[in-house]
Amino acid sequence: MLKFFYAPNTCALASHIALRQAGADYEPVRLSFADNQQRTPDYLAVNPKGRVPALATGKGILTETPAILAWIAQTYPAAHLAPVDDPWAFAQVQSFNAYLCATLHVAHAHRMRGYRWASEESSFEDMRRKVPQSVGDCFRLIENEVLKGPWVMGETYTICDPYLFTLAQWLELDGVSPDDLPKVADHRRRMCELSDVKTAIDIETRK
């Protein structure tokens, strides 16, 4: 059985949703960031980066959301979570997910994790002030140039959808109004209605 390491309210939710949609047999393992459990020796032996998500399989550990999502899609092809037999269509899926991890999630992370890239409180404050613009710019690009609708890639649901949904959960906290992003907001609303999304969130947030 797979072991899936996550923390609530992190990007791990994207992989969690995809695992459920794939029908994977997995055990969720919760880490508490409040208790710094991602820095314990036990967890650093799983993932030396001290981050989530991490997926333990019979073959070893896999980290990084875009890699986990693509692996799930390739390993459970019956779930049709990505166009794994069409390199061009698959590349478009990968391009979207790479943008989320390297640009959108990074912009968001400057609200709470500025210490990764600076040392002074004044810099952290400056970074926090910029988040509504930087995160907003990313979502406006997605809204205007990328999101085809009803799903990210058009008529067919893919691993782009749980990833976008996960980062769109943070819009209000990042100071970006969903009212200005009708396609993104509609996407978020429809994702919320999927049973695997509800169940993943319930597992991650229950006491």
Binding region for a second copy (CB under 8 A): 48-49, 57, 59-60, 62-68, 70-71, 74-75, 87-88, 90-92, 94-95, 98-99, 101-103, 105-107, 110, 116-120, 122-123, 126-127, 129-130, 134, 141, 144-145
What minimum distance in Å lies between the beta carbon of 202 and a second copy?
27
Q: Please, which residue, 126 or 180, has the CB nearer to a second copy?
A: 126
β pairing state of 2-6 and 54-57: antiparallel
What minimum distance in Å lies between the beta carbon of 192 and a second copy?
26
Distance CA 194, CA 179 (A): 22
Q: Please, which residue, 164 or 201, has the CB nearer to a second copy?
A: 164
Q: Please, which residue, 38 or 134, has the CB nearer to a second copy?
A: 134
Q: Please, which residue, 7 or 201, has the CB nearer to a second copy?
A: 7
What minimum distance in Å lies between the beta carbon of 75 and a second copy?
5
Q: Which tokens sit at 181?
A: 């992003």
DSSP one-letter string for 76-141: -GGG--S-TT-HHHHHHHHHHHHHIIIIIHHHHHTTT-GGGT---HHHHHHHHHHHHHHHHHHHHH
What minimum distance in Å lies between the beta carbon of 32 and a second copy?
22
Q: Please, which residue, 175 or 194, has the CB nearer to a second copy?
A: 175
Radius of gyration (Cα) for the chain, nearest Å?
Answer: 17
Q: Are 35 and 43 in contact (CB under 8 A)?
A: no
Distance CA 123, CA 114 (A): 8
Q: Please, which residue, 88 or 207, has the CB nearer to a second copy?
A: 88
Count each helix (H run) and each strand (E run) in the chain, helices first: 9, 4
Residue type, 188: R
What minimum distance in Å lies between the beta carbon of 113 and a second copy?
11
Distance CA 31, CA 39 (A): 10
What minimum distance in Å lies between the beta carbon of 101 and a second copy?
4
